[in-house]
């Protein structure tokens, strides 16, 4: 991108890369959790619901600190990942993606839950009486009906992921070219004397990305409404 | 032949019902809202598992708790038309129909084009579901259920969400289904007029159990049905045979029991015409009536006199036999004073003057009432 400085384009590229990687982690997990919360009744249902929503109400720094304790070099999971698989999460963009995924998880679960709950279960019953088995129903009725809502949720979560700051800087620090995403670059610029101009440009970039993301999400939401004739 | 026995406890509600229906024909589950009609239909479809019981269609056992048989809904081969149609909103009409057609397990009996033609769906094929009227939605839902090549059709109040005009639009299609396809149907309704037009048998339901079951003629005389539909709707329903047209007057002559009525209708000779004679429209005479403008009268024998609040309800066997109640029976409502003065009592021969006859459909296929 010619109108961006190399540092800016690096931060933008990193932000997109981290946000995309976070989706790889959060979408499958959120699908499973949302499915369980919507379709299953079990002991501990409320507890799971609370745990899923924790990142929404905790200070992001606390979430980052928690990740540090679990996934740090000497943490129970981090230590095992390092020794068994050679994977290091702290100070890497994959670590940034994990922190971002955890922070945007509640948003994603909520979006998927809403789209799942909006599906009339009677339609699945109707499909059954027409001869459609469980996998057939999932593929032809449930997923197509929830897909637009799911995509809208994913795009909203992605837009939010681009801006994740507290958990990322706590867990993976602020390393140029590795973990310095847009918000971290913006923060760094403000720390430097005379960095206001650079900060303003980065803030502007964030605004444009945010508006773009929300517009696409709204377009999907409208498509759903039109499809269902509402 | 469909036979159903089911017990299902749901919090405060208990369903405990048993009925069977000879195929082909339409068995109506009739009763007030909340009496368990939909629960039964869901049990037959396999969408709901009863605590105990047995569901069998001909030789095929669909559910039997003791034998541990529970055929999943998607393998039962039963067409289900829901009250709210339940068309798939992300597909157009044609795709909804093809969805069913592609998954039909049995060999094709009813072709795609025949279903489309019979239900008049051609102009709707490319429409989205939300662009359909209520009546159109139900027609598509009926077509979709038919294309699964069902062995049995379940119709759960398919007309309940429609206004009077839309109901009249869909009803003839249901009659066509019954007469042309000979497909056994279970029809759920809380409207007696719909039941009269479509059903060959009625199962009378109340708070989770079957109060009575039988042919339309028999059930139309049942005091428990009378309690449900109210005094003004009480009246015998009789299936008559069309004899032909009156030479001069143009009225249709219909044989009822041993007698004959003249009605204003158009049906071929030999067809079965279902007529309803409301009890309040019948006048009872103890001698053959003369010098009267009422032309329709049937000779019969009183079989019962029942106290019906302010008046009496008289059952009259018009079959021409000995008045043992084996022939078609009609009901007449008369005042208690009239009962007393005319000395109306069982075994007394009387003439029933029929002030008006309501037509309740033609069953040219001639399914017997019983």
A window 115-144, beta carbon within 8 A of B: 120, 122-123, 125-133, 136, 140-141, 144
CATH of the domain at A14: 1.10.3720.10
**pTM for the structure as a whole:** 0.82
Match 């980065």 to its residue by tokens. Answer: A202
**What pLDDT, on a 0 to 100 scale, did the predictor assign at position B369?**
40
Flag if B89 and A227 touch (Cβ within 8 Å).
Answer: yes
**What pLDDT, on a 0 to 100 scale, did the predictor assign at position B366?**
44
pLDDT digits (tens, 9 = 90+) for B97-117: 999 999 987 777 888 999 999
Do the domain assignments include residue A1? no
Nearest to B188 by CA among B30, B77, B363: B30
**What pLDDT, on a 0 to 100 scale, did the predictor assign at position A155?**
87
Sheet with B259-263, side-by-side order of all strands: B259-263, B252-256, B235-245, B272-278, B358-363
How far away is chain A from the Cα of B326, in angstroms, using its nearest Cα?
42
B90 close to A (CB below 8 A) = yes
Flag if B86 and A144 touch (Cβ within 8 Å).
Answer: no
**Contact of B218 with B226, CB cutoff 8 Å:** no
Q: Looking at the predicted structure, is the pLDDT value of residue B191 above 80?
A: yes
Provide Rg for chain A, Cα atoms: 20
Do the domain assignments include residue A91? yes
Match 């309940």 to its residue by tokens. Answer: B160
> What would the 3-class secondary structure string for A162-188 be?
HCCCHHHHHHHCCCCCCCCCHHHHHHH
Give every CB contact of residue A139 below 8 A, 6+ residues apart in sequence: none
Strands B272-278 and B349-354, by their bridges, are unpaired
Domains of chain B: 2-229 (3.40.50.300), 235-359 (2.40.50.100)
Q: Looking at the predicted structure, is the pLDDT value of residue A199 above 80?
A: yes
Give every CB contact of residue A145 below 8 A, 6+ residues apart in sequence: A115, A119, A123, B89, B90
CA distance readout (Å), B334 to B308, B337, B339, B341: 10, 8, 7, 11
Q: Looking at the predicted structure, is the pLDDT value of residue A229 above 80?
A: no
Do the domain assignments include residue A72? yes
Flag if A127 and B88 touch (Cβ within 8 Å).
Answer: yes
Q: Looking at the predicted structure, is the pLDDT value of residue B367 above 70?
A: no
Rounded to whole angstroms, how far apart are CA atoms A55 and A66? 11
Residues in B closer than 8 angstroms to A128, CB to CB, are: 46-47, 72-74
ipTM: 0.84
pLDDT digits (tens, 9 = 90+) for B233-267: 899 999 889 998 888 767 888 999 888 888 888 88
**What pLDDT, on a 0 to 100 scale, did the predictor assign at position B23?**
67
Rounded to whole angstroms, how far apart are CA atoms B4 and B27? 12
**Contact of B235 with B216, CB cutoff 8 Å:** no
Percent of chain A whose pLDDT exceeds 90: 57
Could you give the angle at which helices A93-117 and A60-71 cross, rounded to 10 degrees?
120
Mutation pick from B38, B79, B86, B158 vs chain A, by most beta carbons of A within 10 Å, is B86
Residues in A closer than 8 angstroms to B86, CB to CB, are: 120, 122-123, 125-126
**Average pLDDT in the A104-110 region?**
92
Rounded to whole angstroms, how far apart are CA atoms B176 and B198? 10
Q: How many CA atoms lie within 13 A of B126 on its CB side?
A: 1
The secondary structure element, H or E, covering residue B231 is none
Flag if A227 and B90 touch (Cβ within 8 Å).
Answer: yes
Give per-residue burial for A32-46: e unless 16+ CB within 10 Å, then b: ebbbbbeeeeeeeee
**What pLDDT, on a 0 to 100 scale, did the predictor assign at position A2?**
54
> Cβ atoms within 10 A of the Cβ of B269, count?
11
CA distance readout (Å), B363 to B10, B153, B242, B360: 39, 18, 11, 10
Collapsing DSSP to helix, strand or coil, B78 comes out as: strand
Nearest to A110 by CA among A56, A43, A164: A56
Sheet with B78-81, side-by-side order of all strands: B78-81, B152-156, B185-189, B26-30, B201-206, B209-215
Beta strands in A3-157 (DSSP E): none
Nearest to B13 by CA among B164, B205, B179, B185: B205
Match 């008006």 to its residue by tokens. Answer: B356
How far away is chain A from the Cα of B4, in angstroms, using its nearest Cα?
18
**Contact of A112 with B85, CB cutoff 8 Å:** no
> Cβ atoms within 10 A of the Cβ of A21, count?
18
Q: Looking at the predicted structure, is the pLDDT value of residue B368 above 60?
A: no
Residues in B closer than 8 angstroms to A227, CB to CB, are: 89-90, 128
pLDDT digits (tens, 9 = 90+) for B284-322: 999 988 888 787 889 999 999 999 888 999 999 998 877
Flag if B45 and A141 touch (Cβ within 8 Å).
Answer: no
How far away is chain A from the Cα of B212, in angstroms, using its nearest Cα?
29
Task: Calculate the average pLDDT of chain B.
Answer: 89
For B149, name the nearest residue in chain A, comparing CA atoms only.
A130
The secondary structure element, H or E, covering residue B346 is none
Q: Looking at the predicted structure, is the pLDDT value of residue B47 above 50?
A: yes
Residues in B closer than 8 angstroms to A143, CB to CB, are: none
Collapsing DSSP to helix, strand or coil, A207 comes out as: helix
A191 close to B (CB below 8 A) = no
Tell me how many domains chain A contains: 1
pLDDT digits (tens, 9 = 90+) for A124-140: 999 999 999 999 999 99
How far away is chain B from the Cα of A225, in angstroms, using its nearest Cα?
11
For A125, name the nearest residue in chain B, comparing CA atoms only.
B47
Stated length of chain A: 230
pLDDT digits (tens, 9 = 90+) for A9-26: 899 999 999 999 999 999
Q: How many CA atoms lie within 13 A of B281 on its CB side?
A: 18
Percent of chain B whose pLDDT exceeds 70: 96
Residues in A closer than 8 angstroms to B46, CB to CB, are: 128-129
Flag if B145 and A130 touch (Cβ within 8 Å).
Answer: yes
A145 close to B (CB below 8 A) = yes
Print the domain residue range for A104: 6-227
Residues in A closer than 8 angstroms to B144, CB to CB, are: 130
**Average pLDDT in the A147-167 region?**
87
**What pLDDT, on a 0 to 100 scale, did the predictor assign at position B180?**
84
Task: Calculate the average pLDDT of chain A.
Answer: 89
CA distance readout (Å), B355 to B125, B263, B278: 47, 11, 9
Percent of chain A whose pLDDT exceeds 70: 98
Lowest mean pLDDT among B87-96, B176-185, B342-351: B176-185
**What pLDDT, on a 0 to 100 scale, did the predictor assign at position B370?**
36
Match 């998927």 to its residue by tokens. Answer: A112
Flag if B131 and A229 touch (Cβ within 8 Å).
Answer: yes
CA A100 from centroid of its chain's CA atoms: 6
Flag if B73 and A129 touch (Cβ within 8 Å).
Answer: yes
Flag if A129 and B104 touch (Cβ within 8 Å).
Answer: no
Residues in A closer than 8 angstroms to B95, CB to CB, are: none
Rounded to whole angstroms, how far apart are CA atoms A212 and B81? 44
Q: Is the peptide bond before B24 cis (omega within 30 degrees of 0)?
A: yes
**What pLDDT, on a 0 to 100 scale, did the predictor assign at position B321?**
77
B107 close to A (CB below 8 A) = no
């Amino acid at each position: 991108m010619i109108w961006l400085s190399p540092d800016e384009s690096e931060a933008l590229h990193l932000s997109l890369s981290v946000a995309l990687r976070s989706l790889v982690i959060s979408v499958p997990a959120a699908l499973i959790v949302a499915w369980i919360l919507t379709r299953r009744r079990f002991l501990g249902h409320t507890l799971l619901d609370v745990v899923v929503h924790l990142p929404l109400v905790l200070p992001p720094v606390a979430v980052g600190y928690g990740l540090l304790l679990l996934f740090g070099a000497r943490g129970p999971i981090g230590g095992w990942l390092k020794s068994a698989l050679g994977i290091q999460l702290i100070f890497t963009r994959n670590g940034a993606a994990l922190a971002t995924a955890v922070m945007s998880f509640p948003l994603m679960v909520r979006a998927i839950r809403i789209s799942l709950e909006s599906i009339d279960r009677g339609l699945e019953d109707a499909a059954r009486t027409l001869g459609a088995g469980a996998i057939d129903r999932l593929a032809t009725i449930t997923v197509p009906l929830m897909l637009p809502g799911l995509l809208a949720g994913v795009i909203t979560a992605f837009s939010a992921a681009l801006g994740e700051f507290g958990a990322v800087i706590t867990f993976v620090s602020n390393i140029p070219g590795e973990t310095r995403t847009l918000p971290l670059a913006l923060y760094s610029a403000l720390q430097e004397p005379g960095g206001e101009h650079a900060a303003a440009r980065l803030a502007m970039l964030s605004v444009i990305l945010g508006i773009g993301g929300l517009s696409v999400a709204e377009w999907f939401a409208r498509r759903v409404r039109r499809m269902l004739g509402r | 032949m469909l036979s159903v026995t089911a017990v299902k406890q749901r919090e405060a509600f208990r369903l405990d019902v048993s009925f069977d229906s000879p195929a082909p024909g339409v068995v109506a589950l009739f009763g007030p809202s909340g009496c368990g009609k939909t629960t039964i239909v869901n049990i037959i479809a396999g969408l709901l598992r009863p605590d105990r019981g047995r569901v069998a269609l001909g030789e095929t056992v669909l559910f039997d708790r003791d034998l541990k048989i529970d055929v999943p809904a998607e393998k039962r081969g039963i067409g289900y038309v829901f009250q709210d149609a339940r068309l798939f909103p992300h597909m157009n009409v044609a795709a909804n129909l093809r969805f069913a057609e592609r998954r039909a397990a049995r060999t094709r009996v009813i072709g795609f084009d025949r279903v489309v033609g019979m239900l008049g769906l051609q102009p709707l094929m490319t429409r989205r579901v939300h662009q359909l009227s209520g009546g159109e939605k139900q027609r598509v839902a009926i077509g979709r259920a038919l294309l699964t090549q069902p062995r049995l059709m379940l119709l759960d109040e398919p007309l309940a969400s429609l206004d009077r005009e839309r109901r009249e639009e869909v009803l003839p299609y249901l009659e066509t289904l019954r007469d042309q396809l000979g497909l056994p149907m279970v029809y759920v309704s809380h409207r007696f007029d719909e039941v009269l037009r479509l059903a060959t048998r009625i199962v009378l339901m109340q708070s989770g159990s079957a109060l009575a079951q039988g042919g339309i003629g028999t059930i139309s005389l049942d005091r428990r049905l009378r309690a449900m539909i109210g005094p003004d709707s009480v009246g015998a329903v009789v299936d008559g045979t069309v004899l032909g047209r009156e030479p001069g007057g143009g009225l249709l002559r219909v044989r009822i029991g041993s007698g004959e009525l003249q009605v204003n209708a158009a049906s071929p000779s030999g067809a079965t015409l279902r007529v309803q004679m409301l009890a309040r429209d019948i006048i009872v005479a103890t001698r053959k009536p003369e010098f009267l403008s009422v032309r329709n009268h049937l000779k019969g024998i009183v079989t019962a006199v029942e106290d019906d609040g302010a008046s009496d309800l008289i059952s009259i066997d018009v079959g021409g036999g000995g008045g043992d109640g084996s022939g078609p029976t009609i009901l007449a409502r008369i005042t208690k004073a009239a009962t007393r003065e005319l000395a109306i009592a069982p075994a007394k021969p009387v003439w029933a003057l029929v002030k008006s006859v309501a037509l309740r459909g033609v069953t040219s296929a001639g399914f017997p009432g019983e």
